[in-house]
Amino acid sequence: MTPIAPAMTDTAFALALALLLMAPLAIAGVALINTGLGRSRSAAQALLGNLAIVAVTAIVFALIGATVAGNLPGTPGSEGHILHVAGKPWNWLGAGPFLLSGLAAAPAQAQLALLFEFLAVAMAALIPWGSGADRFRLTAGCAAAAVMAAIVFPLLAHWVWAGGWLSQLGVNFSLGAGFLDPGGAATVHMFGGLSALAVIWIAGPRKGKFPKEGLATALPGHNAVYILFGCMIALVGWLGWNLAGALVWLHAPLSALPVTAINTVLAASAALAATFVVTRVRFGKPDASLCANAWLAGLVASSACAALVTPGVALAVGFVAGIATPLLVELLELAVSIDDPSGAITVHAAGGLLGLLAAGIFAPQQGQLVAQLVGIATLLGLVLPLVYLLFWILNRVHPFRADPDGERIGMDLHELGGGAYPEFVIHRDESYR
Amino acid sequence: MKYAGLLVMPAGFFLSIAALTLFPAPASRAAFVLCGLAVEALGLVVAVRGHMEARGESHQ
């Protein structure tokens, strides 16, 4: 039986709704960062793709995903499908109403939860789109987003947020308060980061990225202003997301919100400062793109732990994220031959992992760390192979990668027939010599 | 090799889940969950190695 959440006061409901209405700014920030980190000849296709993916996920989640996620407690069938194994109930699949019927009559908190999931699925699906920049076809990106919104995200959302087996680890196995993910570090960011890895493996690197001889070619983002302004917008959205998550999923009192907001800012700031120093020491000058990645990694880590830890811990988590980000980006590119233009694997998958671990280590409940580890094991051991399999099948039906000519002239001209900056002179690309 | 790695990863997940039902004691349960994660990490390393080998072959 899905536990019924304690009733929300009118003040808390209004505040949570207002905070959730700020959350799309995080999506806008990530969209700007994705676009800025790609090349100028694919900028319009990248930004249109971000917008199209938000639209596709909203429609598919309303048609299919919300039923699977089943997050309307109190409505018929909301308890989901339960398997009884070893004397314990394993709630593995939601059974919500079809096409959101009965939504207006559902409890206020259930409606907020559903709005949270609508925004979360859009953010999760944007992450692999950024990693496939400059080669991922628009229609294939939308199809991949539809698969994420119809199948994988709803399963995860049900398990973590809607009374599923991960959220019940505390009740059934005395593991703290069950798997905790108030800001979506696992359900959105780790899931998105692992989906990005699957896209990169299937689509392959950009042409000219890894030449036959020598080191990987640097293909820097085309607009640092988009990237850094995207980071600023993302902070506002993240504050809304983390605070709303604390209210909706943790039922936190209003007095706990200022600390959550401070922790969010501290984690991002510490990550930026650490990467600024690391890149200054390594390269002689701070790297704007890596600093932006670190800022985002700090925010992602805060999604898991901002509502659960002290400001000192949030600062430490941010520092670790900031030190790890430039090193991991370099390792993935140079040692592992992974071409990830937006750094999604480092920022979203590794940042989310760090935050989830911190939430387990520093949460006061006994057994919380094991609950977090089981959640991480689910993402890594079940979700990544499942997403890879689904994307592999999808790629057979509708190839992810544009043809070589399209990649050469740029995705804007190839897919849209016009560039994002028509008055600019397109320079010759040395990597195609 | 990439597919072999991806097949090993669910084995690690089921090991972690088995730990929940087989071991009521917190220490042994935590140890077994960690073993499951180690198997998943091993699978990921194999998959990454497979990706690198495939990239090397495509260059030849």
CA distance A168 to A92: 11
Which of these, A175, A319, A291, A275, lies nearest to A232 by C-alpha position? A291
Total CB pairs under 8 A between chain A and B: 75
> A7 pLDDT exceeds 80?
no
Closest CB to A377: pick one of B2, B6, B40: B40
| C-beta atoms of B52 and A169 within 8 A | no
Q: So what's the pLDDT on residue A2?
A: 47
Mutation target to probe the A interface, by most A beta carbons within 10 A, among B1, B2, B17, B57 is: B17
The CB-side HSE value for A391 (13 A sphere, CA atoms) comes to 31
Interface of B to A at Cβ within 8 Å reads 2, 6-7, 9-14, 16-17, 20-21, 26, 29-30, 33-34, 36-37, 39-41, 43-44, 47-48, 51-52, 55, 59
Q: So what's the pLDDT on residue A218?
A: 85
Q: So what's the pLDDT on residue A426?
A: 59
Please answer whether residues A398 and A139 qualify as being in contact, where contact means their C-beta atoms are separated by less than 8 angstroms: yes
> A79 pLDDT exceeds 80?
no
Q: How far is B10 from chain A (nearest CA, A)?
A: 5
CA distance A419 to A410: 9
Tokens of A429: 């690309």
Q: Which residues of A are less than 8 Å from B10 in CB distance?
A: 381-382, 385
- Residue A1 pLDDT level (bands cut at 50, 70, 90): very low
* Arithmetic mean of pLDDT, A345-368: 95
Q: What structural domains does chain A harbor?
A: 17-398 (1.10.3430.10)
Q: So what's the pLDDT on residue A73?
A: 58
Q: What is the pLDDT of residues A202-229, one digit of tens each?
A: 999 999 888 877 788 888 899 999 999 9
Q: So what's the pLDDT on residue B55?
A: 74
Q: So what's the pLDDT on residue A241?
A: 96
| C-beta atoms of B33 and A377 within 8 A | yes
What single letter denotes the amino acid at residue A58? Answer: A
Task: Work out the mean pLDDT of chain A and round it to a whole number.
Answer: 92
What single letter denotes the amino acid at residue A81? Answer: H
| C-beta atoms of B6 and A210 within 8 A | no
Helix (H, G, I), strand (E, B) or coil at A207: coil
C-alpha torsion sign, points A220, A225, A231, A234: negative
Nearest CA in chain B to A169: B20
Asked if this assembly's ipTM is beyond 0.90, the reply is yes
